Amino acid sequence: MADFSATSLARAVRWDTVVGALLVVVLLFSFGFADGFGNSLNLSFLIGNTLPIALIALPMTLLVVSGEIDLSVASTAGLSGAVMGALWNQGMAIETIIPLCLVLGAVCGLANGLLVTRLGLPSLAVTIGTLAAYRGIAQIVLGSDAVTDFPGQYLDFAAGRLGDSFLPRAFPPFLVLLGIAVVVLHATPFGRSLFAIGASEEAARFAGIRVKRHKLLLFVATGFMASLTGVFWALHYASARYDNATGLELSVVAAVLLGGIDFDGGRGTLGGAIAGVFLLGALQNVMSLLNVSAQSQIVVTGVLLVVSVLGPRLARRIAVARAGRRAAAAPVSEASAPTS
Amino acid sequence: MTHPSDTGPAPVLALKDISKSFGAVRALKNVSLELFPGQVHALAGENGAGKSTLIKTLAGVHRPDAGQVLLDGEPVVFHGPGDARDAGIAVIYQEPTLFPDLSIAENIFMGRRPRRALGRIDHKATREATAGLMRRLGVELDPDRPARGLSIADQQIVEIAKALSFDARVLIMDEPTAALTGSEVARLFGVVRTLREQGAAVLFISHRLEEIFEICERVTTLRDGARIASEPLQGMGEDDLVRRMVGRDLEALYPKQDVTPGEVALSVRRLTREGVFTDVSFEVRRGEIVGLAGLVGAGRTEVARAVFGVDRWDAGEVEVDGRGLTNGAPSAAMAAGLALVPEDRRAQGLVMDMSIERNIGLTGLRTTVRAGLMDRGAERSRSLDWAVRLQVKYARIADAVSTLSGGNQQKVVLAKWLATGPKVLIVDEPTRGIDVGTKAEVHRLLSQLAADGVAVLMISSDLPEILGMADRVLVMHEGRLTAEIPRSDATEETVMAAATGRVA
């Protein structure tokens, strides 16, 4: 990364640094002042409850960077959990069920993607529609049943901890997925194209970037990850119900925006998004420990969302003003510096 | 005290020894300017010479650090654009910003429409007042027409009418002709002459020198924030003006080298996009610069878009070096060696918020890759190499292209495409809105590329540019190719005759 100049680095990470620093502050505060925060059971709860949000935040970050959004993710997760439960009740082997659910999720994402790229509909509207539709199908599939008797080793994997540590057993696989997502977004031509598409779709098209194909792929990946999350959710809480993960899309979007991903696309880093996810998770956890009422927690989350949309914009305005001043000052260094 | 002047009346508006700095940059240094009623005054200068700052000072956007603004000889201080407007100063920008869903009349009287009893809006009075303004300008525009769908030329007329409705005595026109066709420019000039006869003082800014000579009486030239000269245009030549602007003699503006054309590089056969263009066939050979002329809306840009694959075509075929291109696939066109420098550099040519480095890098996403990952070192050296070759003036390669001047932005677009080593280069309005110095550089570059064996198709609404640079001129009229004129026969008359559909 030697060729990564100090300024471009500073500009790229300004808001994520803020979020990262906030995360550290919240963690330090929590370890110091919130009784019970630091014990390994609570920490494993915190991480375990945050993992579903983090998993979906990975593809969601890429999607928002490209200027699109998918609000149907929680419903896709619920649908894949419901299908998993229904098929398990039918006596199908779990080894067959899980891949089927993942394919189903990819198909859900494909449907979103086709509606957006082929028909040119806005993704916000499309996925609000499929949010309802996928959840409805989930209810049709499983009714009001709750399926809980999944095989022990799967439940252990989803809910257990790594040895004596507070880390969930699912954490290392998550780190692998995170690594893949970071590389894809920040180090491949594909990721570079996403930033261009999000910043200016037309200019990207004129540069020969296959905009629709990129977006379609992202929607499929998002559906896939949403259903993976649905499977994880059902096993983690040992309960497959049609209403699993209801409302999760808001947490994901809130966390991603909090992490500095610009809602208009073209800006942000995955590191920031993941810091945003864990910041939200830690805040909710510590507020519960401090007996902050559920209503107040919602207020705090709401305020954070507004701050998250406002913060990066302010940070950027400052950065632009600085760059402008620098650019304006540039010619002077060449000319015979006039002083008054 | 104002300077004694060679014309009779006192100046309506004058700037006296104005200085303005932004940080360490002195954008204006002791600049004076006098605008007289009934006179069209040109403001000339390259990009970055301080024209915009001067206009914004007159319009009350900037407050000068030193010096005075004199209105009718009295010093005034504008605290904002509203003050300047109330003082009778109006600015017409290159691209007007009207409310698309409101009618022309509503746009003109936005926020101050005539009222009837009980505060009800008087639609009839609004309409009549608008019609009156249009009559004064000698233009026919229906006051009830919505602003949406008006050409830029018509939108400017609406802005001018709006300025008149504020009793503007000083009209500042900032590159009003940049996006207009020949006949629209003629109509605009008609309006300007009408205003002049009615006693308005006009400050006119244009990169097209011939326009300055056509419509203006005096010219003030700025260079590096300082006033170089303020003088009558009579007796001056374009060369004199250019020398004042750039401070040196400019090499020929159209440095076309003679090249013997090679093999056919781009072949377009019977290309049709329904309702847009029909049955368009032409060839461009290696080493050739082929001009594509025509009025705005004749379908030139649309042909270029279809050839490159941004739009689909309905019938016909396109070949680069004898290989057929896939319909609607820019990536395939790029792979075949085609490059398109699009018409609108801000929306199509560049991702404005991205760095210079990454904008140039966008066309190299397939080449600056190692093991599937971006090779940042290769990307940077490729971008730096081309930015330097094209002499882009920037502070850092990592700065957003939005911080560059228009001419330098255009160079970045060219760099981005030349970096692909194209066999065929299509340039759409390559010098629109860029200053004379950069324009000459772009022309020299195109000429050099052709000499190196690149086939160049140049779309331009700038007729002298077409005549000066093209080996051959294709002319489109209403979606069809109406003429192919060799360089030796190409004149303004022959090209315009074909462009307007008159048989030559």
Can you list the domains of chain A with their CATH numbers?
2-322 (1.10.3470)
The shortest CB-CB distance from B365 to any of A187, A189, A206 is to A189
Residue A298: its pLDDT value, please? 81
Q: How confident is the model at residue B2 (pLDDT cuts 50, 70, 90)?
A: very low
Judging by beta carbons within 10 Å of its beta carbon (0-12, 13-18, 19+), is residue B378 exposed, middle or buried?
A: middle
In terms of CA atoms, which chain A residue is nearest residue B362? A207
Contact A69, A63 (CB under 8 A): yes
According to the per-residue pLDDT averaged within each range, which of A127-136, A301-310, B10-19, B61-70 is highest? A127-136
- Which of these ranges, A102-116, A311-325, B5-19, B190-204, has the smallest mean pLDDT? A311-325
Is B261 part of the contact surface with chain A (CB cutoff 8 Å)? no
Q: What is the least distance, in Å, from the CA of A116 to any CA of chain B? A: 19
CB atoms A8 and B355 under 8 Å = yes
Across B310-339, average pLDDT: 96
Does the pLDDT of residue A320 top 90, yes or no? no
Percentage above 70 pLDDT, chain B: 97
The shortest CB-CB distance from A196 to any of B25, B351, B399 is to B351
Q: Which residue has the higher pLDDT, B62 or A328?
A: B62
Q: What is the least distance, in Å, from the CA of A192 to any CA of chain B? A: 8
- B 297-336 near A (Cβ less than 8 A): 308, 310, 330-331, 333-334
Beta strands B373-374 and B424-428 are unpaired
Q: What is the least distance, in Å, from the CA of B497 to any CA of chain A? A: 33
- φ/ψ region of A197 (left if φ > 0, alpha if ψ in -120 to 50, else beta) reads alpha
pLDDT digits (tens, 9 = 90+) for A210-253: 999 999 999 999 999 999 999 999 999 999 999 999 999 988 99
Q: Which residue has the higher pLDDT, B276 or B432?
A: B276
Please state, in angstroms and rounded to a whole number, the distance separating the CA atoms of residues A56 and B418. 40
Q: Which helix (H) or strand (E) holds B39?
A: strand B39-44
Across A89-105, average pLDDT: 97
Across B355-384, average pLDDT: 94
Question: End-to-end distance of chain A based on CA atoms, in angstroms?
Answer: 42
- What value does the mean pLDDT of chain B take? 89
Does the pLDDT of residue A334 top 60, yes or no? no
Residue A304: its pLDDT value, please? 81
- For A244-270, b where at least 16 C-beta lie within 10 A, e where not — what string? bbeebbebbbbbbbbbbbbbebbbbbb
Does the pLDDT of residue A331 top 90, yes or no? no
- Which of these ranges, A330-334, B216-220, B378-382, has the smallest mean pLDDT? A330-334
- What value does the mean pLDDT of chain A take? 88
Residue B47: its pLDDT value, please? 72
Q: How many other CB atoms are there within 10 angstroms of residue B255's CB atom?
A: 16
Across A194-215, average pLDDT: 96
Across A135-149, average pLDDT: 95
Q: How confident is the model at residue B249 (pLDDT cuts 50, 70, 90)?
A: low
DSSP symbol at B238: H
Residue B231: its pLDDT value, please? 92
- Which of these ranges, A170-179, A198-207, B97-106, B175-184, has the smallest mean pLDDT? B175-184
DSSP letters for A282-331: HHHHHHHHTT--HHHHHHHHHHHHHHHHHHHHHHHHHHHHHHHHHHHHHH
Q: Which pTM value belongs to this model?
A: 0.78
Q: How confident is the model at residue B148 (pLDDT cuts 50, 70, 90)?
A: confident
Residue A8: its pLDDT value, please? 47
Q: How confident is the model at residue A337 (pLDDT cuts 50, 70, 90)?
A: very low
The shortest CB-CB distance from B395 to any of A267, A326, A335 is to A326
3-state secondary structure of B221: strand
- φ/ψ region of B74 (left if φ > 0, alpha if ψ in -120 to 50, else beta) reads beta
CB atoms B416 and A187 under 8 Å = no
Enter the tokens of residue A1: 């990364």
Q: What is the least distance, in Å, from the CA of B438 to any CA of chain A? A: 17
Residue A93: its pLDDT value, please? 96
Percentage above 70 pLDDT, chain A: 89
Across A274-281, average pLDDT: 94
ipTM: 0.84
Does the pLDDT of residue B167 top 50, yes or no? yes
Q: How confident is the model at residue B5 (pLDDT cuts 50, 70, 90)?
A: very low
Please state, in angstroms and rounded to a whole number, the distance separating the CA atoms of residues B335 and B339. 9
Q: How many other CB atoms are there within 10 angstroms of residue B272's CB atom?
A: 16
CB atoms A203 and B348 under 8 Å = yes
